[in-house]
Structures are given as structure tokens and as C-alpha cells.
């Protein structure tokens, strides 16, 4: 199922890019979806580029806080694992930013998931 999810997210990204152009916020959400699917397959190095682009596109578009928080959390998880975890401080920073954004957005489930991730990935671990 995880591979199917990746295929679907990649297909959505292709269609949205073709229809809306590279810089549209919906393209950013598709990049976030691809990143999440890649993370589910333990492919953090590949997920990183998609998550980075998702955050940039969604931030530039002043997207909904929950959408940007979702992308930031995907970026945090990718940073934590990609390239042997060389950027873990930035990973925690992205997760903290995502959690802070959700205070206004009210997505309690995602906020709880991020809080759990942060607790599991404390400094020095």
C-alpha cells in the first residue's frame, strides 16, 4: 500500500505541475504528499528535496497553517534521517515551528503527533 500511495502522490504532482505550474501551493501540497510517502518507505534522502520544496512553496503562498505545518513536519522527519541525520538540530527546529503553527490551526491530531515525535527525538538522541 505504501508504494501505491507514493505512485498516487507522484501522479498528482505531475498533473498539478502540468496544470498549475511549478510554484502553485497545490503543487507544494503534492510535494509534501510525495515526501510523506517516501518517508513511509524509509527513503528519507529522496523525501528531503520534496519536503524542502513543499515548505518553500507553501510559505511563499501564505498557505493555511495546517498545510505548512504538515510540510514542515515532513521536512523535520526527512532531515532527521537523511544523510545519516547530519542536520538533526534543524529537524527539531522545523518540528517546533510546525507545532507552533498548529496552535492557531487547531489540528489537535497532528499537533499530538508532532509533540510525540519531539519527545522521542530529544536533544542528544
Break the chain into its structural domains and give their ranges: 2-120
All three cell numbers of 107, joined, read: 489540528
Contact (Cβ atoms closer than 8 angstroms) between residue 37 and residue 2: yes
Q: Yes or no: is domain 2-120 CATH 1.10.10.10?
A: no
Mean pLDDT of the chain: 93
Tens-digit pLDDT profile for residues 58-103: 999 999 999 999 999 999 999 999 988 888 999 999 999 999 988 7
- 82: DSSP letter: G
Nearest to 42 by CA among 68, 6, 10, 73: 6
In the chain, the percentage of residues whose pLDDT exceeds 70 is: 95
- The mean pLDDT value for 16-39 works out to 98
CA distances 114 to 46, 89, 118, Å, are 21, 15, 6
Backbone angles phi, psi at 80, to 5 degrees: -60, -40
Q: Look at 11-15, 31-35, 108-112 and tell me which has the smallest mean pLDDT.
A: 108-112
Amino acid at each position: 500500500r505504501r508504494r501505491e500511495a507514493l505512485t498516487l502522490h507522484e501522479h498528482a504532482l505531475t498533473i498539478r505541475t502540468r496544470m498549475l505550474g511549478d510554484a502553485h501551493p497545490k503543487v507544494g501540497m503534492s510535494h509534501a504528499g510525495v515526501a510523506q510517502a517516501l518517508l513511509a518507505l524509509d527513503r528519507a534522502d529522496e523525501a528531503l528535496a520534496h519536503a524542502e520544496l513543499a515548505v518553500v512553496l507553501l510559505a511563499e503562498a501564505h498557505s493555511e497553517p495546517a498545510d505548512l505545518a504538515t510540510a514542515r513536519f515532513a521536512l523535520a522527519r526527512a532531515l532527521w534521517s537523511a544523510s545519516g541525520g547530519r542536520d538533526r538540530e534543524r529537524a527539531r527546529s522545523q518540528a517546533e515551528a510546525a507545532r507552533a503553527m498548529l496552535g492557531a490551526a487547531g489540528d489537535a491530531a497532528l499537533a499530538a503527533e508532532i509533540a510525540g515525535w519531539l519527545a522521542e527525538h530529544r536533544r542528544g538522541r
